[in-house]
Structure 1
Amino acid sequence: MTGLAVDIRVREAVEAVQDAFTEFGEKAFARAVQYSLNRVTVEATNRFRERMPIELRHANAFTLKAVRYELDKTRLSAVSNLDDIVSAVFLQPLQSTWMKYAFGETHRPGGDVGIEAFMPNQSQIYIPNEDGLRASFGIRPNGAGNYRSSDMRIIGRALAAGYERNTGYGGKWGAFEIKHGDRDAARLGVGVHARPPRGLAINGRERLKSKMRRGQASAPRTQFTAAGGRQVDVPKVVNMDRPRLLFLTQPDATYKPLLTPSWEDEMQRAASRIGDYMEEELVNKLEHAVAKGRKVR
């Protein structure tokens, strides 16, 4: 992943102490470099994890565990030259499907990752409107700011049912979509909207009920001509609420690499200490040699 690749440029600091390791054997220097590089990797990764909740607005525990380092402990005893040195940082496979957009993958096509997997049309991106979801279907995000798949399936099923804005839905909220180019007389805007339940006009209208109790109004009714010319008079049915925006929709999205700057900063900061780590390794070697020599005498 491009956003994880960092040129830390430690050659100068490492080579500064290379000659001092020659008296400890040909493998000593490579092993010291491997151990020091491991320390850089661990320090950079741990410090970066501390910064992730600041950079990401809704970073749950699963996302925060995505960045991992890989250290082969057996390599410390087996490495013999600089070409054998390896220390890796990577993203966990599942989390990488969405975190790649914070690490340099700028273009997100519809259907790549997100709640669109639960919608009939998976070729676009759905951006949730928290107020509309809560006011209509009673759907709320969890503590990490994410929506449950079971809740998203409710909206997906309502869309798949194909209800229009003013069609009945058994007294429950429904869902309909206005696409680019669709007629939008009410100017609701492109996106997925909640269709309010329909019911008798008198229900839920306290002002009208009050007037009826005072004899100042009667229950609203609707008259129309049915098939065969029959005149029909029925109680008036209306929307019991107003349409609510559930999701803004768009074909794709562009992202900024939010995490790359922090990762580069922490990696460079950790790498700047590799010279100190190499010196510590050298001192340890010298102290070990002195102690060993004393024991021999």
Structure 2
Amino acid sequence: MKYAMGDSRNTRLPGDVGLAQDRILVSHWKNLALTQGIKPNRSHDLPGATMARLARNAEGQYAKRAVAGRWGVYRGEVKVGGSRLMGYIARPPRVRAQADEYGNAKTRFINGRGKVKALPKVVNLGRPRILMVEIPRAEYRPVMQRPFEDAVSQAQRGVEGPMADKFIAGALFERAETADAFPLGGRVYRATVNADVPGVLDGVVSGAASLFMLDVPAGRTLYVGHAAQVGALQGDAARAVMFPFRAGTWTVALTDEGQALLRLLADSDFEMPILAAATIDGTA
């Protein structure tokens, strides 16, 4: 997928993706389905062990119980767009030919001893078909970049309404002072954060508050989330629905008073200062 992203064409070289280190194999899916019964998997790639089986078949190694209707495989040179490339080719089944109008259904030849020999005449049921060709490099157009950007924009528009009451806006202040030293008014609280069980931040920030600050110690990560979202979750399950705040002094803005109930979870137990900084109307 990475080759379909970006602002310009991307070049893929052998060994970057897949097991082959000296070539890139390009599949002909129509012929693979027709002659081998092979269809792409959910990742639009060959199903597991398929390439290994084709390589064995090309060397003349076939399973004792061959799949009915599956063509043989050999490796040879094919002409593609004026270039001659090596690849894997499907060999059509061969059957005995029907007798001609003279009743002749055999091929006659003279062997090395000068004797005339006759063997049943056989014909191909179809023509050889290319399964995969080997190329030294490939170029891809960034066809997924625009759809990806459109999908992200659509997703953002979709959550602005229903999820508006579930956002926390965080801002990191690169300052040497701790939260205790910020002259923003309000009151400093100290809370012991448990690494396994989220603690409820209730009573520290009043229902009317719209801004408070968290001073996360160096080397620690604090997880902040809404009580309604976290619920009874603990540990990693709780962290998965919370916002990670790493070391630094953070301001957290509440979009309405319903967001005053928050839960805090850390990567380890430590004591953290919390500063209730301002109220909704902006007064300290």
Do these two structures clear the TM 0.5 threshold for a shared fold by scoring above it? no
TM-score (norm. length: structure 2): 0.44
Structure number with larger C-alpha Rg: 2
The answer to which structure, 1 or 2, has the higher relative contact order (CA under 8 A, 6+ apart) is 1
Is the helix fraction higher in 1 or 2? 1
TM-score by length of 1: 0.42
